Amino acid sequence: MARCYSVRVRNRQTPLPLLWLVTDARNDAALDHALARLPRGSGLIFRHYHLPATERRARFIALARMARRFGHVMVLAGSVAMARRWGADGAYGAPGLLARGPRVLRLVTVHSLRELRQARRADAVLLSPAFATASHPGARGLGAVRWGLLAARATVPVIALGGMTARRARAQGILRWAAIDGLSRPLRQP
């Protein structure tokens, strides 16, 4: 496992950030401020599925300009080819969507061991939902133990998604994590 991971790291031109901000309609108004507060070299996963194509592209361009000013990695939800056309550093989506195309950073969200196995060609997986999350009210999170057991089976780096905050990441010893709400509000110090 370590050998496969180290080969992937050497072949990747875009470094894999530890911290990821995920966009959607709920946090759009806070994104400019949130990007400025993230540590240099963090990542932004641009989804914005709620926007029509032209508006989505314009918002991507504006956020990409800002993200790059702060040294952040910009990943687009969509195909690898689309990510290349839009000038993104990577693509985010389902394993099948990311299987072919020019070389970019490839991120996939997984929810189970079966999906984790299917995502073996990704550069990293977002294992979700780590904990209860506002994105899916009433849905149970994996919890610390189950999340840890699944993460241990991964052959690529794992990013925790779902109910994540800086405090929870520290408490659980999670190195890589992503959030929508947890990074859109002011970051609280312990």
The CATH code of the domain that includes 140 is: 3.20.20.70
pLDDT in tens, 159-186: 999 999 999 999 999 999 999 877 876 5
Domain encompassing residue 168: 2-178
Residue 183 counted as domain residue: no
pLDDT in tens, 40-85: 999 999 999 999 999 999 999 999 999 999 999 999 999 888 999 9
Residue 155 counted as domain residue: yes
Residue 152 counted as domain residue: yes
For residues 113 and 57, what is the distance between their CA atoms, to the nearest angstrom?
34
Q: Domain tally for the chain?
A: 1
Residue 188 counted as domain residue: no
